[in-house]
Amino acid sequence: MTTTVWIILAGAVVTFLTRIGGDLVLSRFERIHPRLEAALNAVPAAVLTTLVAPVATTGGIAEAASLVVAGGIFLRGGGMMAGFVAGAAVLIALRNLIG
C-alpha cells in the first residue's frame, strides 16, 4: 500500500476514536454532575455555531443576504427545508447578478 493509503487509514482510526471517545469516558460514570449536564446540553448549539459564524464574516453581500433570509425563516418556524432552499436561492441569484 502507498503512504497516502496509510495516512488515510490512520486518519480514519483517529476520527473513529473521536467519535467513540466522549462516550468511552462518560459511560464510566453513574451520575453526571448538573454542571456537566448543562455543558453537554449546550454542545449542539455551541459547536454548530462555530461552523457558521466565521464563514458569515468572510463572505460578501450575497452570503450575508442568504444567511439573513434563511435565518429569518428558521426563526419564524418556517422549517428546515424552506429556510435552506430560500437561502440557497437568494445566494445563487445574488452571486450571478452581482458577480
Partner 1 sequence: MSENIDFNDTGAEFRRGMRRSIPVVIAAAPFGLLFGALAVSNGLTVGEAVLMSATIYAGASQMVGIELFGQDLAPWVVVLSVFAVNFRHVLYSAVSGRVTRHWSTLKRYFAFFFLTDPQFAEAERRVTERRPVTFAWYMGLALPIYLFWIAVALLGALFGQIIPNPAALGIDFLLPLYFLGLVMEFRERPLWLPVVAVSAIASIAAYYSIGSPWHVSVGAVVGILLAAVWPAQGTASEIEEGRA
By CB under 8 A, tell whether 43 contacts partner 1: yes
What does the angle CA 81 – CA 85 – CA 88 come to, to the nearest 5 degrees?
Answer: 140
List Cβ<8 Å contacts ≥24 apart for 55-63. Answer: 60/98, 61/94, 61/98, 62/90, 62/91, 62/94, 62/95, 62/98, 63/91
User: Shortest distance, CB of residue 31 to partner 1, whole angstroms?
Assistant: 8
Q: Binding to partner 1 by residue 61, rule CB under 8 A?
A: no
Query: Considering CB under 8 A, how many residues would be counted as binding partner 1?
Result: 68
Task: For residue 76, report the phi and psi dihedrals to the nearest 5 degrees.
Answer: -80, 5
Is 12 an interacting residue with respect to partner 1 (CB under 8 A)?
yes
Work out how close the CB of 75 gets to partner 1 at its nearest, in angstroms, rounded to a whole number.
6
Residue 97 in the binding site for partner 1 (CB under 8 A):
no
Provide the 3-class DSSP secondary structure of residue 77.
coil
* Site of interaction with partner 1 (CB under 8 A): 2-12, 14-16, 18-27, 32-57, 59, 63, 66-67, 70-71, 74-75, 80-81, 83-84, 87-88, 91-92, 95-96
